[in-house]
């Protein structure tokens, strides 16, 4: 696959700049365009943000030409295009700039006058049922100006650009999954970079503005004492409206005592569009459907990794991740977690569920699968407190956890 990618790079070697973009909370960025070397993303473990940073690390020969733009669609007027040209040293109107979009088909965006490509970690094998008439509702349609798709696997359900019979697809080298991890230090050297709060402590404005500076009292309580329950990571793709994660949280909580849980969940949202409504909705769901109610919110956590220097701290907190196999990005997520030294467990799917979601594309219905209550009970019993964090008073490696 590397040879195919290198051949295409040679064809694009005349590009004066490569602009990379992905969805995310706009308030976390201080510039409309900046060199990749200056980029600090809110979350760098999973989803489009991680795919972008891994891509940049896997192609060091492009470093001087790589730039980041959180909202490439804003560059359309003559004044904005001049500003982009001044920032990158390239003239976008002549079609020379290459724009690569990360973060899923439904979040695809284009840069006016550029050669636009989509980097695809998704596989929409099962598009939503009775999708609305919105052209992008199915996840299999792209904006008309997407000229090429770059995929991590050869065999995926290929999306098609509007008005096009077929969109060329190029496979990416394996390095585009983990190249940035190779530069990460072996131990966390400074505080920060791992933000964790319980669902009870979650505040929308603080999460959207970030980084979270206040230490989590609930986390401190969860990692102290002799009978600490092991943590399990639960990746949650916010761009997948049919995700089984909220229901999985509900079932896990109802199978254990909220006062003395058998395990604790650390939810890792990714492909975060900058709107906290999905997380707040999940919190309301947990409060209304679990026996613990509001008390249960103190035992479930939501977190993000904003600096790979704190990856060791995350590994010390949890070594296992449960991965929803109905997530279109599950394959990339599992390969990424494994490269991080975290064991990904693809959850068994023996219980059918239909999820309805009101999205910006209209009302969508998804047939999804998740572990039955009996199967989930067995999975929970297999979780053992093998790699628990030490006493925070004695283990300085826990200091980066906030």
How do residues 281-305 score in pLDDT, each as one tens digit? 899 988 988 887 888 899 999 999 9
Rounded (10°) CA dihedral 228, 399, 317, 341: -160
Residue tagged 């600096």 (tokens): 307
- Looking at residue 92, its pLDDT comes to 57
Better pLDDT: 340 or 401: 340
Q: Is the full-model pTM beyond 0.85?
A: yes
Q: Which residues pair with 171 in a beta bridge?
A: 151
Beta partners for 19?
67, 99
pLDDT of residue 258: 76
Note whether 206 and 35 are within 8 A (CB). Answer: no
Model confidence pLDDT, tens digit, residues 90-120: 765 566 788 999 998 888 898 888 889 999 9
* Cα torsion through 331, 208, 23, 190, rounded to 10: -60
Confidence of residue 190 (pLDDT cuts 50, 70, 90): very low
Q: Which residue has the higher pLDDT, 39 or 95?
A: 39
- pLDDT for the residue 183: 66
Q: Are 322 and 213 in contact (CB under 8 A)?
A: no
Q: Write the pLDDT tens digit of every residue in 345-369.
A: 999 989 998 888 888 888 888 888 8
Euclidean distance between CA atoms 33 and 83, whole angstroms: 9
The pLDDT, as a whole number, for residue 197 is 94
More confident residue, 100 or 23: 100
The second-level CATH assignment, the architecture, of 190-388 is 3-Layer(aba) Sandwich (3.40)
Which comes out higher in pLDDT, residue 79 or 120? 120
């Amino acid at each position: 696959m590397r040879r195919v990618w290198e051949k295409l790079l040679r064809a694009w070697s005349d590009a004066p700049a490569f602009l990379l973009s992905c969805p995310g909370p706009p308030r976390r960025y201080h510039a409309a365009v900046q060199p990749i070397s200056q980029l600090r993303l809110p979350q760098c473990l999973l989803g489009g943000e991680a795919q972008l940073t891994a891509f940049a690390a896997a192609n060091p020969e492009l470093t001087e030409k790589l730039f980041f733009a959180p909202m490439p669609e804003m560059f359309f007027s003559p004044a904005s295009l001049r500003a982009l040209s001044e920032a990158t040293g390239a003239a976008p109107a002549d079609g020379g700039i290459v724009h690569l979009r990360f973060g899923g088909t439904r979040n695809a965006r284009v840069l006016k006058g550029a050669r636009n490509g989509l980097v695809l970690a998704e596989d929409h094998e099962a598009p939503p049922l009775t999708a609305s008439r919105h052209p992008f509702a199915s996840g299999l349609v792209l904006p008309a100006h997407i000229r090429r798709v770059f995929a991590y696997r050869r065999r995926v359900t290929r999306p098609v650009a509007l008005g096009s019979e077929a969109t060329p697809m190029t496979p990416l080298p394996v390095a585009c999954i983990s190249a940035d991890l190779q530069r990460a230090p072996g131990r966390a050297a400074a505080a920060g970079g791992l933000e964790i709060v319980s669902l009870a402590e979650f505040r929308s404005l603080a999460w959207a503005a970030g980084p979270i500076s206040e230490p989590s009292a609930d986390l401190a309580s969860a990692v102290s004492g002799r009978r600490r329950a092991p943590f399990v990571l639960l990746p949650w793709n916010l761009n997948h409206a049919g995700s089984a994660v909220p229901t999985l949280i509900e079932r896990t909580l109802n199978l254990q005592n909220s006062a003395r849980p058998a395990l604790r969940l650390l939810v890792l949202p990714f492909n975060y569009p900058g709107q906290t409504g999905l997380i707040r909705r999940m919190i309301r769901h947990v409060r209304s459907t679990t026996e613990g109610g509001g008390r249960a919110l103190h035992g479930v956590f939501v977190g993000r990794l904003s600096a790979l220097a704190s990856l060791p701290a995350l590994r010390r907190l949890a070594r296992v991740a449960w991965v929803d196999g109905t997530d279109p990005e599950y394959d990339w997520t599992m390969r990424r977690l494994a490269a991080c030294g975290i064991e990904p467990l693809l959850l068994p799917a023996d219980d059918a569920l239909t999820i309805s979601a009101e999205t910006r594309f209209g009302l969508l219905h998804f047939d999804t699968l998740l572990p039955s209550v009996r199967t989930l009970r067995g999975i929970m019993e297999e979780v053992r407190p093998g790699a628990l964090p030490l006493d925070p008073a004695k283990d300085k490696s826990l200091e980066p956890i906030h």
